[in-house]
Amino acid sequence: MNWWETVRTGYDAVRAHRLRSALTMLGILIGIAAVMLTVGLGLGAQATIGAQINSLGSNLLVVTPGSTTTNGVRGGQGSAATLTMADATALTDEQVAPDVAGVAPTVQRPGSLAVAGTNWTTSVVGTTEDWSQVRARTVTNGRFLSADDVSGKAAVVVLGSTTAAELFGEENAVGRTVTVSGVPMTVVGILDPGGSSPLGDQDDQAVVPISVAAERIFGGTARGTVQTIFVQAESTEALSAAHQEVSSLLLAMHRITDPTAPDFTITTQQSILDIANSITGALTAVLSGIAGISLLVGGIGVMNIMLVSVTERIREIGLRKALGATPKVIRRQFLVEAAVLGLAGGIAGVVVGVAGSAALSNAIGQPIVVSPSATLMALAVSIGIGLLFGVYPASRAARLAPIDALRSE
């Protein structure tokens, strides 16, 4: 019996018991579809998080203060007030930091905005004119802050799209007056939608000159310190050099002699992305492992049905052996049947997985990425499961003695 006849015989044997074969393939179908959906959810989450992190800006370094220690209790990272406007100004010196393209110091706190009886609480961001370049943000209408606004302490504000909609609805907000934490300010621009990011909703914020924020809105420590300094490198290739320049300059500015104990932290976009991907990757692996248990159950179902098939066809096996079929041919026949069951279940699982990904993505509003390599791997795994769990039944059939098989009832 050649390979073509073996495959045809295996296919006919599967078709002869359609319901039984369909139920056997169902276990593999569920396992393959479950693994595809969990992997797709993980890849979709990674893509979403990556897009959110990249929306912070390009070639970005985020400098935050260190932590405080009060009565022996250490506060969280960023709780200290160690960064100043002088630090940000020093970083703009091309002689000291030639690989730095832009610097945007910020102070950020919740604030209440009011206009014509409408109130809205949002995040008030005090920054400089370079913020839009460093954070890769543009305005839909109007303009962004200027250097004159910052130096002249102008009472102007740029609103996020969500904030503007909540306060003014469909009306044009540019030129209107809004009260920011009790300070009347003129709206000069509306930011383009930026979506959410690890730093919060970029569409729900009010951006004001840092000089106004420090003296008229926030006060207190905000007058002399900043919460975050966003630094943009000249290019992706210059990111490492810019990191070194920023670190060296701030160590010198803060008179820190031990570089292993700085009072600030520099975070890159890639480091944030790596952390996020490691978390989502671990969750995806755990969920895939749980989903993979159903594949094991499906494999046991294949073994069970193949053992039943061997028992039902003992006389057929005996006749084939009496006519000259070798144990190798008998073993190959049953392995092919098991592989057909696995392949059919795998193909059905892939179809269900692709359809389920599209339906579930629309239902939960979260992208689910169907990976071609994962799909091909799923098909290979389904065939492998059929072969793996078909080895014992096939070997059992191959070991049957012809005389015993022929006289069995």
Domain boundaries, the chain: 3-51+275-406, 81-262
pLDDT tens, residue by residue, 298-328:
788 888 787 777 777 777 777 777 777 777 7
| Higher pLDDT pick, 5 / 91 | 91
3-state secondary structure the chain: CCHHHHHHHHHHHHHHCHHHHHHHHHHHHHHHHHHHHHHHHHHHHHHHHHHHHHCCCCCEEEEEECCCEECCEECCCCCCCCCEHHHHHHHCCCCCCCCEEEEEEEEEEEEEEEECCEEEEEEEEEECCCHHHHCCCCEEEECCCCHHHHHCCCCEEEECHHHHHHHHCCCCCCCCEEEECCEEEEEEEEECCCCEECCEECCCEEEEEHHHHHHHHHCHHHHCECCEEEEEECCCCCHHHHHHHHHHHHHHHCCCCCCCCCCEEEEEHHHHHHHHHHHHHHHHHHHHHHHHHHHHHHHHHHHHHHHHHHHHCHHHHHHHHHCCCCHHHHHHHHHHHHHHHHHHHHHHHHHHHHHHHHHHHHHHCCCCCCCHHHHHHHHHHHHHHHHHHHHHHHHHHHHCCHHHHHCCC
Mean pLDDT across the chain: 81
- pLDDT of the residue at 251: 92
pLDDT tens, residue by residue, 67-114:
544 444 444 454 467 889 999 999 999 888 999 999 999 999 999 999
- pLDDT of the residue at 221: 59
- pLDDT of the residue at 404: 61
> Is the pLDDT confidence value at 218 over 90?
no
